[in-house]
């Protein structure tokens, strides 16, 4: 059985069309997340009715925190799984901070499934300091014999912020290339491509074994087997995958404006890389079941260890593991330049060369 035979077979069964449809729908679904950059859902309640408390609630809502009427409603939402983290602000928040009572002023509710809880705490704390800085600083100034009321402090801080942003940040890659802050949509699209490409190219590699290739070579010859059966199938799947990906990314840009089309060169490079890896996987010993098991383990490790949707190895201290897995090549391809393309082309060329050597090797009688 050759790659072209497999290609025609899965087309008749609809397997290829189904996988390409899953790729198209997955990219569109991830792209629909647009440019939101919020952390997982977090809820809040309380805070009082004065102007400062209202301002704090407003900025927290702008950060993506969901408001609830009271503590019981917040806890009920957490029990239903709607949110994983809750923030409870006391009704006398402004009075307590004016009296310099900062101990236990905010309560955080966590669940066993909460992720990034420390980031939520830091965000809420930063907003608290931003809004209540006059109350926190004016007391210290009074101790230093500087007579400034919280209202005067607030006016001075607002004037300073209105004049110009006090901090300016720039973002660049490790190689120094400037980048912009990404939204959740484009990160999710990248993760979708990383995983679905891996599954798609592995799907066509798993049915192969060396004995099948040697039988084909005995009947057709090494040259015909390679150039008329194997390579046409490889490049057919490669071109179809890249074409569907390009269409999906273009639709994402047209419908959601995520800027996902910028991922196409890296996705194409990643597809070339996986084509070579798939050819090498097809030449490995073992039957289709063993190769499918290997691919499943590789995919699960990629989800857990590659920085697709979250970066678990960086949190646990063994970030080097992710560079052993295929999706890391996608990030390498996004760095730009000729090196990723050269690496992908080298992998694919080496795989084709290994195939040619294996096909020309005489069979054992």
Query: Does residue 143 lie in a domain region?
Result: yes
Q: Are residues 235 and 147 in the same domain?
A: no
Query: Does residue 200 lie in a domain region?
Result: yes
At 73 the pLDDT is 92
Nearest one of 351, 1, 14, 344 to 197, comparing CA atoms = 344
Q: Are residues 18 and 102 in the same domain?
A: no
Strands 85-89 and 107-110: antiparallel
Domain count, the chain: 2
Measured between alpha carbons, how far is residue 337 from residues 116, 186, 266, 334 in Å?
Answer: 34, 21, 10, 9
Q: Are residues 329 and 348 in the same domain?
A: yes
At 155 the pLDDT is 72
Q: Are residues 81 and 160 in the same domain?
A: yes
Whether the Cβ atoms of residue 224 and residue 26 lie closer than 8 Å to each other:
no
Q: How far, in Å, CA of 107 to CA of 96, rounded?
A: 14
Structure-block tokens of residue 338: 């000729």
At 181 the pLDDT is 56
Domain final residue pick, 172, 204, 221: 172
Q: Are residues 164 and 189 in the same domain?
A: no
Q: Are residues 314 and 208 in the same domain?
A: yes
Query: Does residue 178 lie in a domain region?
Result: no
Q: Are residues 24 and 162 in the same domain?
A: no
Q: Tell me how far the alpha carbon of residue 269 is from its chain's centroid.
A: 18
- pLDDT digit string, tens, across residues 217-240: 667 776 777 777 777 777 888 888
Task: Supply the DSSP string of 233-301, one letter for each residue.
Answer: HHHHHHHHHHHHHHHHHHHHHHHH---GGGGHHHHHHHHHHHHHHHHHHHHSSS-HHHHHHHHHHHHHH
At 2 the pLDDT is 44
At 365 the pLDDT is 45
Domain final residue pick, 114, 138, 172: 172
Query: Does residue 365 lie in a domain region?
Result: no
Q: Which residues on neighbouring strands pair with residue 298, listed in sequence order?
A: none
Angle at 6 between CA 15 and CA 269, to 5 degrees: 80
pLDDT in tens, the chain (365 residues): 444 454 455 454 566 677 788 888 888 887 776 655 455 678 899 888 888 888 888 888 888 888 999 999 999 988 888 888 889 998 888 888 777 777 778 888 887 666 667 777 888 888 888 787 777 676 666 565 666 666 777 676 666 666 655 555 565 655 666 655 555 667 778 888 888 888 887 776 665 666 666 676 667 776 777 777 777 777 888 888 899 899 988 888 888 776 788 888 889 998 888 888 887 777 765 666 777 788 788 888 887 777 666 666 666 666 677 778 888 888 778 776 678 888 888 888 887 777 777 666 554 54
Structure-block tokens of residue 195: 């995983």
Query: Does residue 145 lie in a domain region?
Result: yes
Q: Are residues 256 and 147 in the same domain?
A: no
At 275 the pLDDT is 85
CATH number at residue 157: 3.40.1710
Give just the sign of the alpha carbon dihedral 69, 73, 75, 79.
negative
Q: Are residues 113 and 137 in the same domain?
A: yes
Query: Does residue 281 lie in a domain region?
Result: yes
b or e along 172-200 (b: 16 or more beta carbons within 10 Å of the residue's beta carbon)? eeeeeeeeeeebbbbbbbbbbbbbbbbbb
Domain residues for 83? 42-172
At 1 the pLDDT is 43
H/E segment holding residue 313: helix 312-316
Q: Are residues 110 and 127 in the same domain?
A: yes
At 360 the pLDDT is 61
Query: Does residue 166 lie in a domain region?
Result: yes
């Amino acid at each position: 059985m050759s790659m072209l035979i497999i290609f025609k077979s899965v087309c008749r069964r609809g397997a290829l069309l189904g996988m390409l449809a899953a790729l198209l729908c997955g990219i569109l679904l991830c792209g629909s997340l647009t440019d939101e950059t919020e952390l997982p859902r977090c809820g809040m309640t309380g805070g009082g009715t004065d102007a400062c408390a209202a301002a704090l609630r407003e900025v927290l809502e702008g950060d993506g925190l969901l408001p609830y009427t009271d503590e019981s409603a917040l806890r009920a939402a957490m029990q239903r799984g709607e949110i994983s983290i809750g923030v409870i602000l006391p009704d006398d928040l402004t009075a307590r901070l004016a009296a310099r009572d900062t101990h236990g002023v905010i309560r955080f509710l966590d669940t066993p499934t909460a992720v990034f809880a420390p980031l939520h705490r830091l965000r809420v704390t930063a907003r608290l300091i931003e809004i209540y800085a006059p109350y926190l600083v004016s007391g210290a100034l009074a101790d230093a014999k500087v007579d400034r009321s919280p209202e005067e402090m607030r006016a001075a801080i607002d004037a300073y912020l209105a004049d110009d942003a006090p901090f300016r940040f720039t973002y660049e890659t490790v190689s120094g290339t400037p980048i912009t802050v990404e939204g959740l949509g484009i990160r999710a699209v990248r993760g979708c491509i990383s995983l679905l490409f891996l599954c798609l190219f592995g799907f066509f590699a798993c049915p192969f074994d060396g004995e099948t290739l040697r039988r084909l070579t005995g009947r057709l010859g090494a040259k015909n087997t390679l150039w008329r059966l194997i390579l046409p199938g490889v490049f057919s799947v490669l071109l179809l995958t890249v074409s569907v990906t390009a269409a999906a990314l273009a639709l994402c840009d047209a419908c959601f404006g995520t800027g996902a089309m910028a991922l196409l060169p890296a996705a194409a490079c990643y597809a070339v890389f996986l084509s070579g890896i798939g050819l090498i996987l097809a030449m490995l010993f073992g039957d289709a079941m063993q190769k499918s098991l290997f691919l499943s383990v590789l995919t699960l490790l990629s989800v857990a260890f590659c920085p697709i949707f979250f970066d678990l190895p960086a949190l646990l201290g063994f970030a080097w593991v992710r560079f052993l897995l295929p999706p890391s090549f996608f990030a390498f391809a996004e760095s730009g330049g000729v090196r990723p393309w050269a690496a992908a082309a080298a992998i694919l060329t080496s795989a084709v060369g290994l195939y040619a050597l294996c096909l020309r090797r005489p069979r054992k009688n």
